[in-house]
Every structure is written in C-alpha cells, then in structure tokens.
C-alpha cells in the first residue's frame, strides 16, 4: 500500500484542468442499465469509483470499455439483476443501480452499500421512493430484494432529516422513467449532478421536467434508447484546487470550471480574502491581501457543499482569528479534525460545530485519511505545512481525484508516493 509524501511549504502557481464530475458520472453510468442500446459517455474521470461502477455494469451484462476519458457501453444480451456485495459494499453510489435494474427487469437484488465512513447514511429515502412507485421490497442477508411487474407513477416526498438526498433523487428518477404514468418527486435534490443525470436521461428519450429544482416531474415511457453525453466538470475538485491556491498563497488558473455551480463556495472564499476572476469556463484564484477568518455552514445545494467542509477547515487552520464550521449534512463528518491537530492545528469540536483557531503555520507529520474529502483536506494541509507530511490510506483520495499528484506537481508542489 502506498502513502503520499508532501514536502512543504509550497506556493502553487500555474494552470490546471479539472476532470469530469465523479458524483455526476456514477449515476449516469448506472442509467445505461435502462437501455439495451449503446451509450457513449465522455470526460469520464479515471478513478477507483468509476472503475468499480464499470465492474458492476459488466457483472450485470454490459460490455464497458474505458479509453482516454471515454466510456463505451453496450449490451451483451444477458442482463443480470444481481449486484454483488463484493462490489457494492466498496462504494455507496453503486446502490443507484437499484432503480434502473428494477425498472428494466422487473426485479432486482442489490447489496446494501458501503463507501466512506463519515457517519450513518441510510438508504431509507431510496427505498421509500421505490416503494412509492409500487415495488415490493424486502431486506434479506444484507441485500435489498425488489420486484414489480411494472412500476407506476406516484408522488413521493424525498426530504430527509438532513435535507434532500442526491443519490435517492437519482435512483427514484431513473426508476420513474419507465414507470406507467406521472411521477412527482418533491424535495428533490437540486445539485448540478442530479440535473446532469436528468439531461442524460432526456437524451435517452425520458420525459423529465423541473430538474435542478425541488420538484421534478417524470412522465414514464415504454423504453429508452442509447445516446452520447459529456460529463460536467467536477465542482468539488475545482473547489479543492481553489482552496489549494489560497492555503499556499499561490496563483492558479483553473480550467474546465462552471462557476455557476460554485456560487456559495466562491462567496465564502472571497469573504476569506480571495481574489477570484471568472471567465467562461475557467477561474483564476489568488490571495487579495491577508486571509480572514470566516464562519461556514454546510447546506444542500445551492448552499455551501458538505464535500468542501474538510478543505475549508484546512484553510482556516492557518487563517488568523477564530472560525466556526457547522456541518448540517453529515454531523459526524469531522474525523479529519484529529489529524489536522496532529499537524499543529487548534480545532475543538462541539457537536456539529468545529471551532478553528488559526495558527501561524502547520508542521509536517504522519497522518491518516479516513474518507475521500478528509484525504484532500490533509493534502492541502501538507502543502502549507513546514516540513514533510505523509498521508496513509490514500486509496480514499484515488476514489475521487483524477491524477491529483500530477496536477499538483505541475503547479509546483513537492509530492510523491512511497511504500508503507
């Protein structure tokens, strides 16, 4: 197993291009299960999670080829309804194959999911939505068993304790495309990744309105056809690179960015002292003067993304003053706090709040990644810290950031791998 070694501090400078969105591509790949016709998907990031989803598709009777950012998917003629624990347990997003399999084959057996350990993330909203469409569902030996002769359109409310669910919205939306009649999803997730999935489904022949808003309307059709699609840029990778520019007091031009997807983040970074220059599909980030302490609360889109909470905390550790970061999506998503404190940060957790007192500098130290975004947060800390930092369990990082080492090297970072 490898670890990532970073020698800091570094000042990042130059140009970098953002990859396609991990959170958009995974349900879009699952949506190809709704048709027997070929699909071509472009700007697909080469990630652990992407390759896991391709393995799942192959296990379900698809031929999936991945070449230079393009995935070509076709049918082998032997569609399967069983998604095995060995694959699904490694990645939470793989659970979104449930809706497409059930809608297409009238039955599905899908393992309960796994992924990052950032607190309890149940699938109750997924099952609530699928049940509302008329499916019979039971859970046996860690698997969800679902069956329905044909799903039927219905109204379903998908608001949860901590807001709307992106994956549940996608799962129900995919299932509803082949249901009989009209489905209305209320309290639907508004994230750009949900809208991108809807655009892909529409290209396949689905009838969907309202995607990107809290109410999505789907009129079921008898069948869907193949299509081609280009994945939107990864807004979380873009945000991570923006934070990297500030924590290293650098100057980075970030290409392949949709700034309209980053409104809340850009607002907070500017409040913290960033000078951000937007263009059609790029953004330049540098420090205007001195960093300023800010308070941040994570919220469903278009609020501040929970997937940027750890990275903004890393930035605040070296920002003068006191910042309060409140996590309202996953209240247990604070396992990076102890690792940042190992590097000299002053962070105290109180329930869903993290109180960060900025220090003059962080110190390099051996740390351990607990989840995907925590690993990105530790990379940022290592870039700003004095001395050598080593980050273990970087397989988490590989789940969501394509070629991140090469991208940081190109910006002037001293970063390399070593065997544990």
In CATH terms, the fold of domain 2-18+233-419 is UDP-n-acetylglucosamine1-carboxyvinyl-transferase; Chain (3.65.10)
Measure CA 8 to chain center.
28
Give the C-alpha separation, 325 to 293, whole Å: 11
Contact indicator for 187, 164 with CB cutoff of 8 Å? yes
pLDDT grade, residue 120 (50/70/90)? very low
* Segment 327-359, tens digit of pLDDT: 999 888 999 999 999 999 999 999 999 999 999
278-292 in b/e form (b: 16+ CB < 10 A) is: eeeebbbbbbeeebb
Window from 21-30, 134-143, 187-196, 376-385 with minimum mean pLDDT: 134-143
For the chain, what is the mean pLDDT?
95
Q: State the span(s) of the chain assigned CATH 3.65.10.10.
A: 2-18+233-419, 22-230
The two structure tokens encoding residue 336 = 């990076």
With a CB cutoff of 8 Å and minimum separation 6, the contacts of 289 are: 273
Residue % of the chain over a pLDDT of 70? 98
Residue with the two structure tokens 């129900």: 172
- What is the 3-class SS of the chain, one letter each residue? CEEEEEEECCCCEEEEECCECHHHHHHHHHHHHHCCCCEEEECCCCCHHHHHHHHHHHHCCEEEEEECCEEEEEECCCCCCEECHHHHCCCHHHHHHHHHHHHHHCEEEEECCCCCCCCCCCCHHHHHHHHHCCCEEEEECCEEEEECCCCECCEEECEECCEECHHHHHHHHHHHCCCECEEEEECCCCCHHHHHHHHHHHHCCCEEECCCCCEEEEECCCCCCCCEEECCECHHHHHHHHHHHHHCCCEEEEECCCHHHCHHHHHHHHHCCEEEEECCCEEEEEECCCCCCCCEEECCCCCECHHHHHHHHHHHCCCCCEEEEECCCCCCCCCHHHHHHHCCCEEEEECCEEEEECCCCCECCEEECCCHHHHHHHHHHHHHCEEEEEEECCHHHHCCCCCHHHHHHHCCCEEEEEEC
From 87, 106, 105, select the one nearest 95 (Cα to Cα). Answer: 87
Which of 96, 116, 190, 259 is catalytic? The answer is 116
The two structure tokens encoding residue 106 = 């009238």
Mean pLDDT, residues 223-239: 98
pLDDT of residue 420: 85
Give the C-alpha separation, 93 to 226, whole Å: 22
pLDDT of residue 114: 58
pLDDT of residue 118: 41
pLDDT of residue 116: 45
Residue % of the chain over a pLDDT of 90? 90
Mean pLDDT, residues 352-368: 97
- Taking 60 as the threshold, does the pLDDT of residue 164 lie above it? yes
Contact indicator for 268, 296 with CB cutoff of 8 Å? yes
Contact indicator for 367, 343 with CB cutoff of 8 Å? yes
pLDDT of residue 121: 52
* Segment 54-69, tens digit of pLDDT: 999 999 999 999 999 9
39 an active-site residue? Answer: no
Domain at 22-230: CATH architecture? Alpha-beta prism (3.65)
The two structure tokens encoding residue 297 = 């609360």
Please state, as a whole number, how many other Cβ atoms lie within 10 Å of the Cβ of residue 224. Answer: 24
Give the C-alpha separation, 278 to 217, whole Å: 33
Alpha carbon separation from 343 to 124, 408, 419 (Å, rounded): 38, 20, 21
Give the C-alpha separation, 23 to 192, whole Å: 9
Angle, CA 284 vertex, CA 278 and CA 289 arms, to 5° = 110
From 22, 24, 19, 91, select the one nearest 55 (Cα to Cα). Answer: 91
From 77, 6, 62, select the one nearest 32 (Cα to Cα). Answer: 62
* Segment 287-333, tens digit of pLDDT: 988 999 999 999 999 999 999 999 999 999 999 999 999 999 988 89
Give the C-alpha separation, 54 to 25, whole Å: 11
Residue with the two structure tokens 């939107």: 232
Please state, as a whole number, how many other Cβ atoms lie within 10 Å of the Cβ of residue 150. Answer: 13
Phi, psi of 210 (to 5 degrees): 85, 5
Mean pLDDT, residues 205-210: 98
């Amino acid at each position: 197993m490898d670890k990532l070694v970073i020698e800091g501090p570094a000042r990042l400078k130059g140009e970098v291009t953002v990859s396609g969105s991990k959170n958009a591509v995974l349900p879009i790949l699952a949506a190809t299960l709704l048709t027997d016709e070929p699909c071509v998907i472009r700007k697909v990031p080469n990630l652990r999670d992407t390759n896991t989803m391709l393995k799942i598709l192959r296990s379900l009777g698809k031929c999936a080829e991945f070449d230079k950012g393009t995935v070509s998917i076709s049918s082998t003629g032997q569609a399967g309804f069983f998604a095995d624990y060995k694959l699904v347990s490694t990645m939470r997003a793989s659970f979104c194959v449930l809706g497409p399999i059930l809608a297409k084959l009238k039955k599905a057996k899908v393992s309960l999911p796994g992924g990052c350990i950032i607190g309890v993330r149940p699938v109750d909203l997924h099952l609530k939505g699928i049940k509302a469409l008329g499916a019979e569902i039971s859970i046996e030996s860690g698997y969800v068993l679902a069956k329905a002769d044909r799903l039927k359109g219905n109204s379903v409310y998908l608001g949860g304790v901590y807001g709307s669910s992106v994956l549940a919205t996608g799962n129900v939306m995919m299932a509803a495309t082949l249901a009989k009649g009209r489905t209305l999803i209320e309290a639907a997730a508004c994230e750009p990744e949900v809208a991108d999935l809807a655009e892909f489904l529409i290209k396949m022949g689905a009838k969907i309105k309202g995607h990107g808003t809290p109410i999505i309307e789907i009129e079921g059709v008898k069948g869907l056809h193949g299509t081609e699609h280009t994945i939107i840029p990864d807004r979380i990778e873009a945000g991570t690179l923006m934070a990297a520019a500030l924590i290293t007091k650098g100057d980075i031009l970030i290409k392949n960015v949709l700034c309209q997807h980053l409104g809340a983040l850009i607002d907070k970074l500017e409040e913290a002292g960033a000078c951000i220059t937007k263009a059609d599909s790029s953004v330049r980030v540098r420090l205007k003067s001195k960093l300023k302490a800010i308070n941040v609360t994570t919220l469903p889109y278009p609020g501040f993304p929970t997937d940027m909470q750890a990275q903004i905390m890393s930035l605040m550790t070296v920002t003068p003053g006191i910042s309060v970061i409140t996590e309202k999506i996953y209240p247990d998503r604070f396992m990076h706090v102890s690792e940042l404190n190992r590097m000299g940060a002053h962070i105290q957790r109180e329930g869903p709040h993290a109180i960060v007192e900025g220090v003059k500098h962080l110190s390099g130290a051996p740390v351990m990644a607990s989840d995907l975004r925590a690993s990105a947060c530790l990379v940022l800390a290592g870039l700003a810290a004095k001395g050598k930092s080593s980050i273990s369990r970087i397989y988490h990082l590989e789940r969501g950031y394509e070629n991140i080492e090469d991208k940081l090297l190109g910006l002037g970072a001293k970063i390399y791998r070593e065997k544990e």
